[in-house]
Amino acid sequence: MLTRPGERHHIAQFYQDEDFLIEALTQFVGGGLAEGEGVVVFATSAHWEASVCRFAAHNVFLQDAESRGQLAFMDAGTALSSVMVDGMPDWKRFQDIVGTVVNLTRRKYPRVRAFGEMVNLLWQRGEHAAALRLEELWNHLIKVQDLSVCCAYRIDNPHEAGYEVCGLHSHLIPARDYGEFEASVNRASEALVGPRIAEMLRALASAHRPLTDMPVAQSTVLWMNEHMPVTARKVLSRARRRHRSRSPAVTTRS
């Protein structure tokens, strides 16, 4: 998903672990460079510097990609302040800042992918409406430019963002090892409501899952939070405890 996203894929990368984010950013950028694509990054300077160091640790140095116009970086905070008007992202400014960088990269590399943390800066400040508007602008640019985009959110699970954020993305990457997390959610559900009702809830969630491509456990928790919020919180709390005790350090599945 991260190394070879499809055309017009709009991925939401949720994270709590900073190392997981740096790993995802490195995979996304490294995959684009390896595929001969142009790569545009709107990340915080701290996250970008950590990613550059990770590349250097494997004897991969990004200066050449930057000098030939294949890679472009802009600080997410600087870019965000440049696209805001009266507290909301503005389409014209978004085109002038983000669209211009994309167009300059596309002159040499017809296929371009972009990584962004601007939405996360808004989300962490509680400016959720502005974050959703920015995602809408990304979706419009994706259609116009045939981009692949990955947006990072410091969110533990999709129920914290709700259907709005998930619905504005084509794919969701919610955890380091979501196979193990799915097992944790299933066992927590069965322990709280019993195997038969847990299976019924999974079936209901599957029948009403959003268009976003996400693991079954995440769509189940999302549906339960919408219709059974108290039970959802209990399931998630129990699942987290089990998941963290069984998998303290695992690799990303993308």
Mean pLDDT by 10 residues, the chain (254 residues): 84 87 94 96 97 92 94 97 97 96 94 96 94 96 92 74 73 66 74 83 69 62 68 70 53 34
**Rounded Cα distance, 16 and 11, in Å:** 16
The CATH classification of domain 10-155, taken from the options 3.40.50.300, 3.40.640.10, 3.40.30.10, 3.40.630.10: 3.40.50.300
Continuous segment of H or E residues that includes residue 11: strand 10-14
pLDDT value of residue 174: 72
CA distances from 193 to 83, 177, 189, 200, 227 (A): 47, 25, 6, 10, 15
Continuous segment of H or E residues that includes residue 182: helix 178-193
- Provide the total of helices (H) and of strands (E) in the chain, helices listed first: 13, 8
Structure tokens at 222: 């999302």
**Within 10 A of 192 (CB to CB), how many other CB atoms are there?**
13
The amino acid that residue 202 corresponds to is R
Q: Is the CB of residue 160 less than 8 Å from the CB of residue 233?
A: no
Residues contacting residue 141 through CB under 8 Å, at least 6 positions apart: 94, 95, 98, 99, 102, 147, 149
pLDDT value of residue 178: 59
**Rounded Cα distance, 169 and 227, in Å:** 22
pLDDT value of residue 129: 94
In 67-147, at which residue ranges do the beta strands (DSSP E only) sit? Answer: 71-75, 84-85, 88-89, 112-116
Residue limits of CATH 3.40.50.300 in the chain: 10-155
pLDDT value of residue 252: 34
CA distances from 44 to 33, 41, 119, 138 (A): 20, 9, 11, 18
